Amino acid sequence: MTGQMTDGRRAGTDRRRRRVQDAIAAALRDGTPLTASAVARAARVDRTFLYRHRDLLEELHTSSTRPADTPPGTGPTVTPESLQADLANANARATRLATRVQQLEAHLSRQLGARAWTESGLGAPVDIAELQSNNTSLEQHNVELKQRLAEIEEELDAARAANRDLTRALNQRQ
């Protein structure tokens, strides 16, 4: 009895395997997507059936990477290399876009934070730029005054020295 059960189970597996192979062939003919879910659905088997039978899964993957039979001059042939290049380009674009999104989020965060700070009344006065400009000009004026004072002190020291020399010369004549 167990021999008959084993034979029946083996026959059921063979029927399912043929249905999977027929579903792959039909998908190739029709141009429908070759995915494990689509083939399993078309063959009326569970997806785990494909994963338990690695040769069928390999056949599915091999068939999905094989270029479709197209008449010459109808368009470019899709090859695994072209698909890999497209994937690499898409990944690079996704990385660039993710970086740009992070930059925009950071900018938006700064803008919203500054606005909230100002509106709360805790922030600096609105005319802060004018005050900073005024402060800068006053600091510059202070530097100029210090330079002028240093020049005047040098002139004064020179005048004092000349005055001492003249006084000494006058005193020596007497």
Position 66 pLDDT exceeds 80: no
Looking at the chain, list the stretches that DSSP marks H as alpha helix, in order from N- to C-terminal side. 2-30, 36-43, 47-52, 54-65, 80-120, 128-173
Q: Dump the DSSP string for 52-64.
A: H-HHHHHHHHHHH
Q: What pLDDT is stored for residue 79 in this prediction?
A: 80
Distance CA 127, CA 72 (A): 72
pTM across the whole model: 0.39
| CA separation for the pair 83, 88 (Å, rounded) | 9
Tell me which of 65-69, 101-105, 162-166 is least confident.
65-69
- At 72, the pLDDT band (50, 70, 90 cuts) reads very low
pLDDT reading at 56 higher than 60? yes
Phi then psi dihedrals of residue 11, to 5 deg: -65, -40
pLDDT at 130: 85
What is the distance between the alpha carbons of residues 76 and 67, in angstroms, rounded to a whole number?
Answer: 10
Q: What is the pLDDT of residue 106?
A: 96
Q: Give the other-Cβ count within 10 Å of 40's Cβ.
A: 22
Mean pLDDT for 43-70 is 80
CA neighbor of 25 nearest in space, from 53, 55, 58, 64: 64
Residue 70 has pLDDT above 50, yes or no: no
pLDDT digits (tens, 9 = 90+) for 93-134: 999 999 999 999 999 999 998 888 878 877 666 677 788 889
Helix (H, G, I), strand (E, B) or coil at 21: helix
Evaluate whether 10 touches 21 at the Cβ level (below 8 Å): no
- Residue 71: pLDDT band (50, 70, 90) is very low
